[in-house]
Structure 1
């Protein structure tokens, strides 16, 4: 059977131990999907896996804001990031939540008929505008959006989207035992904070998180991802940071300013992970991944670039009065 993963060979969910196994158990219970591919792809680096899961769980799955509305935002994020796997996943999750008409219209390339839904989708596609939700709901909406700015990049870099983005009918997928488990999970509201014991040390939280579990999860993921900078020499790490900081957060990357594969392969990989992860090739990975680099290292380098992009998007958030 062809692996759905590019460039790494992660352990299947039932073969993991420790933090990775604990994350998989929560994902199965609260997300409703056993062996969810984005988290399997991160499992070679359990600190990253736990941070990404916690940020998604505490913002998208928990809380009091509408799950439908948060799914619309994350659908918009995934469209903006050209991540067909995640676009399809959010469409399926809308179906599972009972929003079949809305999901169908999105799948046909239509805008939502409801103006509020349309504003949420538009904000997900470009988060520099005014928030289309109450300030009290910012931890959940901003957290969900930033979670998928990270997850989209992990998926596009490390998962073969063509191999797993099939055109199956959502109604048929949900009319199975696994589909019924997904429906139950989507329509539940898991208790906030239960992912936090999986995380490492924290730090100052962003103001938009308002001291919620979402903020703790964001800090943990950010800390774990920035550890990937240690895989680059200082000039390359600085180059990637400055290149992403000078970007607007949304414009697709062209060939201009992309480091040479032979001369600066690590900087090239990290910058692609930030701005165009779907453009990462086997040649790019092969040029960088030499002894002693492992799957753990590659996941961390991709995560470093992905988190720089997340922080760039975060920095562009419009101040809300």
Structure 2
């Protein structure tokens, strides 16, 4: 009974989604309905970080695929290691929502052991390459989890509050709620079957940048399809000039926040046409320092592009493009340890 109430509370937190309207479960059709069905099957609830993408169905499918086929699907890395990586990345990106959810899930896994090394690797690797604490056969899954959460943390920082529980839940009730939700999210003994999400999006060739995923063809396929879908979303919703500025800035980025204030953004967008600057500011802040985002950036952008789908696609493209940049140093050849 308590678990049902907690699941209900988390589902209600979808009402606290900022800036966009999430497609209600009862109104979902087509691709959105199928993604929702898979999320509820594998997560035991409609997870708000996935559902927030619902105004743009292809980006919803892309986000779900990279999460499911790394974090949830059964593979050579165990779920505790994956949850530790998800937690570490979320801490690095100052995403309290994701850090809370995945920290509580890790705590609920029996016999998880000490996964501090995995969390520390994930946290440190956000700002450059560090030796991995896992064997090479686990790299596709664990690097995949890290890349997925570099995307998710940015999206959550834009669209969700700092807590997975709705605003009406009192602080005094949250410790017990965390314990219960961790138990709800705790994986079963067998894990989810790999590959059941990949047909949500069309097949595409696996690009060279996914060499880090070569040890797991399902992960490589999921990311290839997801990247292609998010690139297409960017082409629809992000002005070409803005995409060029973001890519140029990311090409030399080492993962570190660009500054305590947002003054750096004005220098970056100075060369853009005035009509593209709101999109440029928003895309750059999401990509490089999503924790600095405030409502004014979104409101300025919405005056130029009012659709929820356009906002979600811009945010998803910015988030995934940053995650792809980070992937270039997460799994350089030979960096994975031979020790478990």
- TM-score, length-normalised on structure 2? 0.81
The 5 A counterparts of 1:6-85 are 6-32=18-44, 34-62=45-73, 63-85=75-97
Aligned residue in 2 for 1:107: none
Deviations 1:198-253 (A, max 9, x none): 12332324111115211111122222222324433332221111112221023354
- How many residues matched? 303
2:264 is matched with which residue? 257
Between stretches 207-216 and 223-232, larger displacement belongs to 223-232
Alignment check: 8 A CA contact 1:92 1:170 kept? no
Asked if 1 retains the 8 angstrom alpha-carbon contact of 2:66 and 2:222, the reply is: yes
Structure 1 residue 51: Cα displacement: 1.2
Which secondary structure does the structure 1 equivalent of 2:65 belong to?
A: helix
Q: 1:170 & 1:212 partners in 2: Cα distance?
A: 39
Partner of 1:218: 223
Q: Distance between the aligned counterparts of 1:258 and 1:273, measured in 2?
A: 11
- Decide which of 247, 250, 254 is 1:244's aligned counterpart: 250
**Secondary structure of 1:77's aligned partner:** helix
- Structure 2 vs 1, CA of residues 285 and 39 (structure 1 numbering), >3 Å: closer, same or farther? same
Counterparts of 2:175 and 2:205 in 1: how far apart (Å)?
A: 41
CA distance in 2, matches of 1:265, 1:172: 39
Unpaired runs of 5+ in structure 1? 103-113
Match of 1:111? none
Report the Cα offset of residue 275 of structure 1: 1.4
Superposition CA RMSD, Å: 2.6
Secondary structure in 2 matching 1:161:
coil
Residue 314 and residue 173 in structure 1: after superposition, are their counterparts in 2 closer, same or farther (change >3 A)? closer
Deviations 1:125-146 (A, max 9, x none): 1221112111111111011111
Segments of 4+ moved more than 3 angstroms: 162-175, 178-183, 185-188, 250-254, 259-263, 290-293
Indicate how the Cα distance of structure 1 residues 251 and 279 shifts in structure 2: closer, same or farther if over 3 A, else same: closer
Unaligned runs of 5+ in 2: 1-11, 335-340
